[in-house]
Amino acid sequence: MLVDVLNNSKVFEGAHPSQVSEYVNQHVGRHSIEMNAGSDRKGRSSARLSFREFADIGLSLISYGDEVKVRCPDLSEVYHFQVVTRGQCCWRYDDDQRLLLRPGQALMMNPKEQIDLSYSHDCEKVIIKVPEEILRGVCLEQNGMLPRDGIRFERRIVDLQNTGCFMRFLDALLAEANEAEVELGSLQLSYREILINKLLHQFASNAQEQSSGCALDRSFSELIAYIDAHIKDEIDVDELAQSANVSVRTIYNQFSRHFGLTPRLYVKNAKLKGLREELIGNPRIRNVTEAALDYGFTHLGRFSSDYRKMFGELPSETFKRRR
C-alpha cells in the first residue's frame, strides 16, 4: 500500500533521472547524481517521482529507472527515513563503511552525514523527510532532555517486514496524506507526532541511550523537582544554587553534564512543556495569552516562536485541537 498511495501524488512519470534529481534537490534533500557509464539504459526516460507535503514533513517515492550513484554532501537540518521497496541500494559512508539495503529494509540518515548511494536499475525507495527542529521537539517532550551533540541515529538496518505494526502505521499515514480534498488540520500533527515517536523507538540512537542510561544523582533530582514545583515562578541560577546549597558554577556544570543545556534554557523548555500540557489537558485554560503570562512569558511573539520550534505547531493550534 505504501507505493499505491504515493503513486497518486505523481510529479514525474517516464522522466529523465536529471529531472527527478533537480526536483529532489529542491524538496527532499541536497545531492548530486552520476549515471553509470556502462549502463545500456543510459539516456532512457524511465525515472519516476511522487511527492507530497504532510504536516511539514515530506513524503516521496523515488525511482531513477537506471543504475545511478547519488552523492549526499550532507542533509541540511533534516533527517531521512528511507525504506527500499524494490531492487537494492548500497550506502557507503565517508569512513568507508558499507550497508546494503534490500526490499523491506530501512535506515535513518542524519543531518550533516556524508554518504554515497548506489542504486540498482530497478531500485525504488520511500523517503520521509523530517525537519531537525520537529524531531528535536518531540524527543524533548518525550524524554525531557536532548543529547548534547544532537540526536544521531545509528547506522543500523531495520527490517520492516518484521515490524508489522510500524508498516501498518505507515500505510495509515500515507493514506491520510493522500486525502488531498480534506483539510486534516490537527489530525496531521497527531500522525506526525506518532510517526516521530515510532522512529525514535524503532531506530537505535543516542537519544535512547541518554533516556535509559542517564541516572540523575539524588541532589540533582531534587533540584529538578524544585524547578517542577516552582515552574510558574521566575527561576534564576542564583536561586537554584541557593536551593541546592552549591555554587552557581556547579549548577552550570550539572545541567551541562546531564542535559547539554544551560540552566536557563532548561527552565524555559520545562515551562514550555508544562504550558503545553495545560493547553491540552486543563479545561480551565480560557486562552493562550492567559496561560503564557501565567508561566512568565511576557514577550508573546517570542513565546510563540519558541513554542513552534519545540513542538512543530503554534500554541493556538494546540489550544484549538483540545477544544
DSSP string over 141-184: HHHS---TT---B-S--EEGGG-HHHHHHHHHHHHHHT-TTS--
CA atoms of 105 and 61, how far apart (whole Å): 15
Full DSSP string of 273-307: HHHHHHHHH-TT---HHHHHHHTT---HHHHHHHH
Judge whether residue 187 has pLDDT over 80: no
pTM: 0.66
Instruction: Choose the CATH number for 2-210 among 2.60.120.10, 2.40.50.90, 1.10.10.10, 3.40.920.10.
Output: 2.60.120.10
CA atoms of 224 and 217, how far apart (whole Å): 11
Judge whether residue 92 has pLDDT over 90: yes
| DSSP code for 65 | S
CA atoms of 204 and 94, how far apart (whole Å): 20
According to CATH, the superfamily of the domain at 215-322 is: Homeodomain-like (1.10.10.60)
Q: Are 313 and 191 in contact (CB under 8 A)?
A: no
Of 108 and 188, the one with more pLDDT: 108
Beta carbons within 10 angstroms of residue 36's beta carbon:
15
Beta carbons within 10 angstroms of residue 183's beta carbon:
7
pLDDT at 197: 87
Of 322 and 104, the one with more pLDDT: 104
Judge whether residue 182 has pLDDT over 60: no
Report domain extents, the chain: 2-210, 215-322
pLDDT tens for 214-235 read 445 677 888 888 999 999 999 9
pLDDT above 90 coverage of the chain, percent: 38
Q: Which residue is it, cell 544532537?
A: 150
CA atoms of 64 and 18, how far apart (whole Å): 9
Of 108 and 95, the one with more pLDDT: 108
3-state helix, strand, coil in the chain (%, to 5): 45, 20, 30
